[in-house]
């Protein structure tokens, strides 16, 4: 009986202590300082990589904004990662005009075209001989929508070379869109073709293609477009972010490579660099949310790394709709040897979300993330921005804050009545146990059964 009473007392003490000292639901969350530009009612920031890494919700639903009094403030979250068109892109042929080499004339050679009333181009001089051709002028004035890519269909049986791409709206002022590589080569029964020049939603009227390793014969050129209202957010103004994938490792089967993203990134590009030069292999990219979910196909492509006169040619990043899964794998067709020895280097790319909030209350403002129990409390941007042409100023996510720096000021103890009741019950329980112990001591020990 004494032992039973002691156990009961310990159990009561443990349960009441646990109830009184329950941990905070946000004890595992992280806070970041926010740097605000000037003074305004609204601020907008681009969600940086550390916030994605700290998030425990695929939709950033655990993100919160706090003011200096540790009060929540309203915010909206717009993810341009929904950048993949809701409708399939369309393709249309475009006209192009051969040019002499751009580099030989410092970009000042006559283009040999005239501009029609509708902005379309017409040839004004004879086409230069193939030996004198080093560039091409592409007319996009009739393209309808935002431009996804230019598809240059090479007429040669085999071609490998680089091309510099410049854009213009008036044929006088040109801006560089960078360099890329085109490839057409036979491999067994397959033809390996890389003919796509990504334009990332830009809308120039004209493109100039400067062939850095010799101009190929061109069979035709198509432009790939999507309607301007097919994207929820314009991604051209939101640069894609990149980071190396985490924990790349060989799987249990030959030709299987596993990696993780370690964050809630809305991945829409995966760059796979092969371990050895002069490698061509077909592979499928798959993903899943966790170890219990089945793998699902995300993209398939012929991956390559080939040496050429202009340097190495590598496959373009794999493109697909935004995917927030954290577990990924590459499955390689091993019939031609796969990747050989070594393992690939993998990088993931995504368009970061834009977060807009109301600067209610006094600074400093902070961003909290990492509490998996929270659901999203974001409102639409249209509902958040009210008034006549509200000014939205930029904000930036700063350094991670230590726990001591984010502890809120002492507030009213709303749990005091509950705590008093619990401790009162504990005192009564101890008193009852004391009475039982006193009676047992007075009776001279444990009572005996009457049958003894």
In a domain? residue 448: no
Q: What is the pLDDT of residue 410?
A: 45
Q: What is the pLDDT of residue 428?
A: 60
Residues 204 and 296 reside in one and the same domain: no
Q: What is the pLDDT of residue 184?
A: 86
In a domain? residue 163: yes
What number of residues does the chain have?
452
Residues 295 and 171 reside in one and the same domain: no
| Structural contact between residues 37 and 403, judged by C-beta atoms closer than 8 angstroms | no
Residues 101 and 196 reside in one and the same domain: yes
The per-residue pLDDT for range 217-269, each reduced to its tens digit, is: 999 999 998 776 544 444 445 788 999 999 999 999 999 999 999 998 999 99
**DSSP β-bridge partners for residue 221:** 152
Indicate whether 388 pLDDT > 80.
no
In a domain? residue 407: no
Taking the C-alpha atoms of residue 146 and residue 199, their distance in angstroms, rounded to an integer, is: 9
Domain range enclosing 310:
241-350
> Residue 334 sits in a domain of what CATH number?
2.60.120.260
Residue where the block lists tokens 């040669």: 156
Q: What is the pLDDT of residue 434?
A: 65
In a domain? residue 447: no
Question: Among 327, 350, 373, where does a domain finish?
Answer: 350
Band (pLDDT 50/70/90 cuts) for residue 55 is very high
**2-20 and 416-442 helices cross at what angle (nearest 10)?**
170
Taking the C-alpha atoms of residue 184 and residue 191, their distance in angstroms, rounded to an integer, is: 7
> Residue 222 sits in a domain of what CATH number?
2.60.120
Residues 396 and 421 reside in one and the same domain: no
Residues 196 and 142 reside in one and the same domain: yes
Query: Mean of the per-residue pLDDT values for the chain?
Result: 80
Residues 346 and 357 reside in one and the same domain: no
Token duo for residue 209:
């293609």
Q: Which residues neighbour 409 within 8 Å (Cβ) at sequence distance 6 or greater?
A: 69, 70
The pTM (predicted TM-score) of the whole model is 0.66
Taking the C-alpha atoms of residue 113 and residue 123, their distance in angstroms, rounded to an integer, is: 4
Question: Among 173, 191, 226, where does a domain finish?
Answer: 226
Residues 52 and 133 reside in one and the same domain: no
**DSSP β-bridge partners for residue 32:** 367, 400
Residues 98 and 75 reside in one and the same domain: no
Residues 205 and 249 reside in one and the same domain: no
The per-residue pLDDT for range 389-406, each reduced to its tens digit, is: 789 999 999 999 986 555
Domain count, the chain: 4
Indicate whether 447 pLDDT > 70.
no
Which range has the worst mean pLDDT, 197-201, 205-209, 307-311, 362-366? 307-311
Residues 325 and 245 reside in one and the same domain: yes
In a domain? residue 85: no
Residues 95 and 196 reside in one and the same domain: yes
Which range has the worst mean pLDDT, 15-19, 101-105, 298-302, 359-363? 15-19
Q: Which residues neighbour 192 within 8 Å (Cβ) at sequence distance 6 or greater?
A: 183, 184, 185, 186, 280, 302, 304
Residues 218 and 98 reside in one and the same domain: yes
């Amino acid at each position: 009986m004494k032992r039973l009473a002691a156990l009961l007392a310990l159990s009561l003490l443990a349960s009441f202590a646990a109830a009184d000292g329950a941990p905070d639901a946000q004890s595992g969350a992280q806070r970041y300082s926010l740097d605000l530009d000037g003074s305004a009612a609204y601020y907008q920031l681009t969600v940086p990589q550390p916030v994605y890494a700290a998030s425990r919700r695929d939709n950033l639903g655990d993100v919160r904004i706090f003011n200096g009094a540790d009060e929540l403030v309203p915010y909206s979250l717009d993810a341009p990662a929904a950048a993949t068109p809701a409708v399939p892109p369309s393709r249309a042929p475009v006209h192009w005009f051969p040019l002499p080499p751009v580099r030989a004339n410092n970009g000042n050679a006559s283009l040999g075209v005239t501009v029609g009333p509708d902005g379309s181009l017409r040839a004004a001089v004879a086409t230069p001989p193939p030996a004198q051709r080093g560039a091409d002028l592409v007319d996009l004035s009739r393209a309808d929508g935002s431009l996804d890519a230019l598809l240059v269909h090479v007429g040669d049986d085999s071609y490998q070379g680089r091309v510099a791409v410049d854009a213009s709206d008036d044929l006088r002022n040109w801006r560089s869109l960078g360099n890329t590589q085109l490839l057409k080569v036979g491999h067994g029964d397959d033809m390996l073709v890389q003919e796509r020049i990504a334009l990332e939603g830009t809308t120039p009227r004209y493109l100039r293609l400067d062939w850095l390793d010799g101009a190929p014969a061109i069979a035709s050129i198509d432009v790939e477009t999507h309607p301007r209202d097919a994207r929820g957010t314009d991604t051209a103004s939101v640069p894609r972010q990149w980071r190396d994938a985490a924990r790349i490792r060989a799987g249990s089967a030959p030709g299987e490579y596993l990696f993780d993203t370690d964050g809630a990134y809305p991945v829409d590009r995966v760059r796979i660099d092969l371990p050895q030069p002069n490698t061509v292999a077909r592979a499928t990219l798959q993903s899943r949310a966790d170890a219990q979910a089945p793998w699902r196909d995300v993209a398939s492509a012929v991956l390559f790394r080939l040496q050429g006169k202009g340097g190495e040619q590598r496959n373009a990043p794999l493109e697909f709709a935004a995917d927030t899964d954290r577990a990924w794998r590459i499955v390689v067709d091993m019939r031609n040897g796969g990747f050989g020895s070594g393992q690939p280097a993998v990088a993931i790319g995504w368009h970061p979300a834009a977060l807009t909030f109301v600067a209610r209350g006094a600074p400093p403002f902070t961003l909290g993330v990492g509490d998996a129990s929270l659901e999203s409390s974001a409102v639409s941007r249209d509902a958040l921005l009210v008034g006549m042409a509200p000014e939205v100023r930029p904000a930036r996510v700063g350094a991670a804050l230590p726990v001591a720096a984010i502890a809120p000021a002492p507030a009213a103890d709303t749990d005091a009545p509950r705590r008093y009741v619990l401790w009162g019950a504990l005192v009564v329980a101890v008193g009852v146990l004391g009475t039982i112990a006193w009676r047992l001591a007075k009776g001279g020990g444990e009572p005996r059964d009457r049958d003894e």
